[in-house]
Amino acid sequence: MKKPLVIASPKEMRDFARTKQAQSMRIALVPTMGFLHQGHLSLVEKAKSLADTVLVSIFVNPTQFAPNEDLDEYPRDLEGDLQKLVPYNVDAVFAPSVHNIYANHFDTYVTPEHMAQTLCGAFRPTHFRGVATIVLLLFRITLCNVAVFGRKDFQQLQIIRRMAKDLWLDVDVVGMPIVRENDGLAMSSRNAYLSPKERQAARVLNKTLDLVQSLFEKGEHLTEALLQKAKDSLGKEPLAQIDYVNIVDANTLAPITSVEEDALCALAVHVGKTRLIDNCVLSP
Ligand code: AMP
Q: 3-state DSSP call for residue 105?
A: coil
Spacing, Cα 119 to ligand 1 middle (Å)? 17
Spacing, Cα 74 to ligand 1 middle (Å)? 14
CA dist 283 and 75 (Å) reads 35
Spacing, Cα 220 to ligand 1 middle (Å)? 30
CA dist 268 and 186 (Å) reads 12
Q: Which of 40, 174, 190 to mutate to test the pocket of ligand 1 (most atoms within 8 A of CB)?
A: 40
Q: In which residue ranges of the chain is pLDDT below 70?
A: none
The confidence score (pLDDT) of residue 1 equals 80
Whether the CA torsion 157, 158, 163, 165 is positive or negative: it is positive
pLDDT digits 0-9 by tens, 103-118: 889 999 999 999 999 9
Q: 3-state DSSP call for residue 96?
A: coil
Q: 263-271 and 274-282 as β-strands: parallel, antiparallel, unpaired?
A: antiparallel
| H/E run at residue 279 | strand 274-282
Cite the active site residues.
40
Q: What's the angle, vertex CA 190, arms to CA 216 and CA 118, rounded to 5? A: 50
The confidence score (pLDDT) of residue 281 equals 98
The confidence score (pLDDT) of residue 242 equals 98
Instruction: Answer left, alpha or beta for residue 60, where phi above 0 means left and psi between -120 and 50 means alpha.
Output: beta
Spacing, Cα 72 to ligand 1 middle (Å)? 19
The confidence score (pLDDT) of residue 104 equals 84
CA dist 105 and 30 (Å) reads 27
CA-nearest residue, atom 22 of ligand 1:
150
The confidence score (pLDDT) of residue 31 equals 99
Beta strands in 122-273 (DSSP E): 146-150, 172-176, 240-249, 263-271
pTM of the entire predicted model:
0.98
Strand order from edge to edge, sheet including 172-176: 6-7, 92-94, 53-58, 27-32, 146-150, 172-176
The confidence score (pLDDT) of residue 279 equals 99
The confidence score (pLDDT) of residue 275 equals 98
- In the chain, what's the furthest Cα-to-Cα distance? 58
CA dist 4 and 237 (Å) reads 43
Q: Which residues line ligand 1 (CB under 6 A)?
A: 32-33, 39-40, 42-43, 149-150, 152-153, 176, 178-179, 186-189
The confidence score (pLDDT) of residue 103 equals 85
CA-nearest residue, atom 6 of ligand 1:
32
CA-nearest residue, atom 17 of ligand 1:
39
The confidence score (pLDDT) of residue 277 equals 98
Q: Do the beta carbons of residue 34 and residue 60 sit within 8 Å?
A: yes
CA dist 264 and 226 (Å) reads 12
Pick from 24, 23, 59, 65: nearest CA to 137: 59
